[in-house]
Amino acid sequence: AQRVTQPEKLLSVFKGAPVELKCNYSYSGSPELFWYVQYSRQRLQLLLRHISRESIKGFTADLNKGETSFHLKKPFAQEEDSAMYYCALGRGGGNKLTFGTGTQLKVEL
Amino acid sequence: NAGVTQTPKFQVLKTGQSMTLQCAQDMNHEYMSWYRQDPGMGLRLIHYSVGAGITDQGEVPNGYNVSRSTTEDFPLRLLSAAPSQTSVYFCASSIGTAYGYTFGSGTRLTVV
């Protein structure tokens, strides 16, 4: 069965500190992985997709097939990064997304 | 370009009532999905569609119906509302598998 695990419900860091939001997945096929972000009272927004290997708002994520992980990283946290972050696994050609339970990132001054 | 539009934003239903949550997109996306978001459970797929006239079930389809008569619209029908259906519902659309989904602003539904 497909599964996405985000082990931390809440991650609290100080401004300027490095951030790593963990995501592990289980899937027998070739995964398509995404990070979505939801700022307070706003809709979910696509942050990153593994296929593009890009950096958005200073965030990066690398797919590690050996460890079945897709951790989200940022070297220096900013106050505006405070939000809920969801890791998602696309299957069935990406039509169906399986989401993790989310990690609330709180950046403290 | 409005993106994905959901109506209503808020709704309170009594147990047993039926209603339709509306979703429309103006990006000519083939793929559309409905999710529900519950605390501590992330988002769970209810139904999805890969094009007009084609729909299929997701993880939690019971109690919900969908149809896709046009590319633009993908309404979600609650047949007989139950308190367990109290949730935030998100509609999403995508141009293709690897591009990710664009989400609507959500409908907060309370069933009493």
pLDDT digits (tens, 9 = 90+) for A100-109: 999 999 999 9
pLDDT at A95 over 80: no
CA distances for B30 relative to A55, B24, B47, B110, angstroms: 27, 12, 14, 30
Contact A98 B45 (CB under 8 A): yes
pLDDT at A94 over 70: no
Mean pLDDT across B100-105? 92
Q: How far apart are CA A25 and CA A32, in angstroms?
A: 11
The encoded tokens of residue A11 equal 């991650």
Residue A59 sits at the chain B interface (C-beta within 8 Å): no
* Amino acid sitting at position A11: L
pLDDT value, residue A2: 84
pLDDT value, residue B1: 63
Q: How far apart are CA A68 and CA B103, in angstroms?
A: 26
Is residue A84 within 8 A of residue A102, CB to CB? The reply is yes
From the list A82, A68, A76, the residue with the least C-alpha distance to A33 is A68
| Nearest chain B CA: its distance from A64 CA (Å) | 18
List chain B residues with CB under 8 Å of A97: 33, 35, 43, 45, 101
Q: How far apart are CA A90 and CA B49, in angstroms?
A: 15
Contact A86 B58 (CB under 8 A): no
Is residue B4 within 8 A of residue B25, CB to CB? The reply is yes
Mean pLDDT across B37-56? 92
Q: Among A50-59, A61-70, B3-12, name the most confident range.
A: B3-12
Residue B89 sits at the chain A interface (C-beta within 8 Å): no
Contact B96 A32 (CB under 8 A): no
Pairwise pLDDT comparison (B22 vs B98), residue with the higher score: B22
The encoded tokens of residue A77 equal 């946290």
Of B48, B50, B90, Cβ closest to residue A44? B90
pLDDT value, residue A97: 87
Give the 3-state secondary structure of residue B84: helix
pLDDT at A33 over 80: yes
Contact B42 A45 (CB under 8 A): no
Mean pLDDT of chain B: 94
Of B42, B94, B105, Cβ closest to residue A43? B105
pLDDT value, residue B60: 95
List chain A residues with CB under 8 Å of B105: 42-43
pLDDT at B2 over 80: no
pLDDT at B9 over 90: yes
Counting beta carbons within 10 angstroms of the beta carbon of residue A103, is it exposed (0 to 12), middle (13 to 18) or buried (19 or more)? buried
For residue A8, the chain B residue with the least C-alpha distance is B40
Is residue A31 within 8 A of residue A25, CB to CB? The reply is yes
Mean pLDDT across B43-70? 94
Determine which of B99, B107, B108 to mutate to test the interface with A (most A C-beta atoms within 10 Å): B99
